[in-house]
Amino acid sequence: MHPGNLRIEDYTYELPDERIARYPLAERDASRLLICKNGIIAEDRYRNIAQHIPAGMLMVFNRTRVVHARLLFRKPTGGAVEIFCLAPGDAYPDMQTAMLQQGRVTWHCLVGGAAKWRQGTELTLLCPDAGFTLYAAVAARREDHFIVELRWDRQELTFAEVLQHAGHVPLPPYMQRTAETSDITRYQTIFAREEGSVAAPTAGLHFTDRVLEDLNKKGVDTATVTLHVGAGTFRPVKSETMQEHPMHAEWIDVEAAVIEQIKAHLDAGIVATGTTSLRTLESLYWIGLDLLAGREPDRTGIAVSQWRPYEPHNDVPAEAALSAVADWLREKHAERLVTRTQLLIAPGYDFRVATGLVTNFHQPRSTLLLLVAAFAGDSWRDIYAYALAHGFRFLSYGDGCLLWRGD
């Protein structure tokens, strides 16, 4: 069955409100870990995950960094307007360029209290501790969001620095609370480097230096890629079938050396830490397949469309596809691949790169749950039923699982 014909009602479950983790545990690696291999379910803690990863494998992490994307402005009359920064305007070639802009940026945003914000009215946000004022004005209105022009009066500050001072941690709406000081560090992985996400790659939140050291001692290699998580990751599927659901596009950034590292570990096995890492790894395959067919990735467009894997194509081994990407980067004298992916992974998808997946427990009726169902097969229901029956904590600050893909 083409994933477009999937009924989202077949990928849901009852999630009691009390099972949603609204705060993290005191220690990251104390979270519980469900392990499912060959249909057999076991339990452990994240601090022992190295015991469950065979030596010689490669674990891939997402090094994106969550930005303080929630901005609380005031109208001249005193009313509050909340602006949630979603993604850079179309003029910027990549996320890094957009985050390094000085003085002024244009951004795609959600606006709370938009009915109170008249066109042409400029909002202000005072940041006395950092010595600047941030201004916002509507540049354009779209069907489901706004394009907002943001400017600040300390020209030397980058937009990343402005958000750090002026914004708030963008906790998911299902946490039903405002961000606290502790969230600044806890809603961030220890390997976060590249500014640009509006949500954490939550599978990585469980990892500590101690766990990474244990993996290294075991002989498990590690690598990092970047996928900047957009707010679309929280968007529930509202249509009856997936055909009517528009998958959000997100920026990916992968170094050429990492592509070679991934290719070298295909036989030993690759574990994606998080759905974002998995989508990045699998996107590399489809980009390589297009390169072999003479189609180059569009740097500012979408290199992998939502339905690309489900269109007619000639299969090639993953090694050949990854080699095509590496060769193309060498020809371009480029050290990294930067583009966007809209890849939708749902039941019916044939995985090419990843053999293992570390991930949290996701919302009902979500594209993330569809991805897990595609990876784990029909046993996803047993996995979630076990987690619910045995007191596991769900969603971003909750527990997680290690899943192994069958043949």
User: What are the pLDDT digits (tens) for 324-372?
Assistant: 999 999 999 999 999 999 999 999 999 999 999 999 999 999 999 999 9
C-alpha 8/C-alpha 339 separation (Å) is 29
What residue type is assigned to position 170 of the chain? P
Residue 302 burial (CB < 10 Å; 0-12/13-18/19+)?
Answer: middle
- Given this model, what pLDDT does residue 244 score? 87
Strand 132-141 relative to strand 356-360: parallel, antiparallel, unpaired? unpaired
What pLDDT is recorded for position 232? 79
Q: What whole-number distance in Å separates Cα of residue 117 and Cα of residue 136?
A: 11
Q: CA geometry: angle at 106 spanning 274 and 95, to 5°?
A: 30
Q: Is residue 91 part of a domain?
A: yes
Q: How far apart are CA 382 and CA 385, in angstroms?
A: 5
Q: What is the pLDDT of residue 115?
A: 75
Question: Has residue 265 been placed in a domain?
Answer: yes
54: Cβ–Cβ under 8 A, 6 or more apart, which residues? Answer: 220, 268, 269
Residue 40 covered by a domain: yes
Q: Is residue 294's pLDDT more than 80?
A: yes
Domain encompassing residue 377: 3-65+187-404
Element (H, E) at 57: none
Closest CA to 104 of 151, 156, 163, 164: 151
Q: Is the same domain home to 99 and 159?
A: yes
Q: What is the pLDDT of residues 184-225, one digit of tens each?
A: 999 999 999 999 999 999 999 999 999 999 999 999 999 999
Q: Helix %, strand %, coil % for the chain, to 5?
A: 30, 30, 40
Residues ≥6 apart with Cβ < 8 Å to 386: 34, 41
Tell me: do 54 and 84 sit in the same domain. Answer: no
Cα(92)–Cα(299) distance, rounded to whole angstroms?
11
Tell me the CATH number at 129.
Answer: 2.40.10.240
Query: pLDDT of 135-169, one tens digit each?
Result: 999 999 888 889 999 999 999 999 999 999 999 99
Integer distance in angstroms from the first to the last C-alpha of the chain? 19
The CA-based dihedral angle spanning residues 281, 282, 287, 293, taken in that order and rounded to the nearest 10 degrees: 140
pLDDT per residue over 46-99, tens digit each?
Answer: 999 999 999 999 999 999 999 999 999 988 777 789 999 999 998 999 999 999
Q: Which of 103, 136, 167 marks a domain boundary?
A: 167
User: Residue ranges of the alpha helices (H) in 248-366?
Assistant: 256-264, 275-292, 318-331
Q: Looking at the structure, do residues 138 and 273 belong to the same domain, yes or no?
A: no
User: Kindly report the CA angle at 203 between 52 and 68, in degrees rounded to 5?
Assistant: 155
Q: Are 368 and 341 in contact (CB under 8 A)?
A: no
Bridge partners of 43?
A: 34
Higher pLDDT, 407 or 165: 165
CATH code, 198: 3.40.1780.10
In Å, what is the CA distance from 362 to each residue of 135, 162, 285, 380? 36, 32, 25, 11
Q: Distance (Å, rounded) from C-alpha 245 to C-alpha 3?
A: 11
Strand bridging mode 64-66 / 194-197: parallel
Judging by DSSP bridges, how do beta strands 302-304 and 270-273 pair with one another? unpaired
Residue 291, amino acid: L
pLDDT tens profile 218-264: 999 999 999 999 987 767 788 888 888 888 899 999 999 999 999 99
Contact call for residues 395 and 177 (beta carbons, < 8 A): no
- Taking the C-alpha atoms of residue 56 and residue 262, their distance in angstroms, rounded to an integer, is 12
Q: pLDDT (tens digit, 9 = 90+) per residue, 124-136?
A: 999 999 999 999 9
- Residue 363 maps to a domain: yes
How many Å separate Cα 317 from the centre of its chain? 26
- pLDDT band with cut points at 50, 70 and 90 for residue 406: low
| Residue pLDDT, tens place only, 269-285 | 999 999 999 999 999 99
Helix (H, G, I), strand (E, B) or coil at 35: strand
Does 59 reside within a domain?
A: yes
Amino acid identity of 231? Answer: A
> How many domains are contained in the chain?
2
Supply the DSSP string of 142-172, one letter for each residue. Answer: -SS-EEEEEEES-TTSBHHHHHHHH-B----
Return the residue matching tokens 């390589």.
288
Residues 58 and 77 in one domain: no
The average pLDDT across 310-315 equals: 92
385, 263: one domain: yes
Same domain (yes/no): 194, 311: yes
225 and 163, same structural domain? no
- 272 and 354 in contact (C-beta within 8 Å)? yes
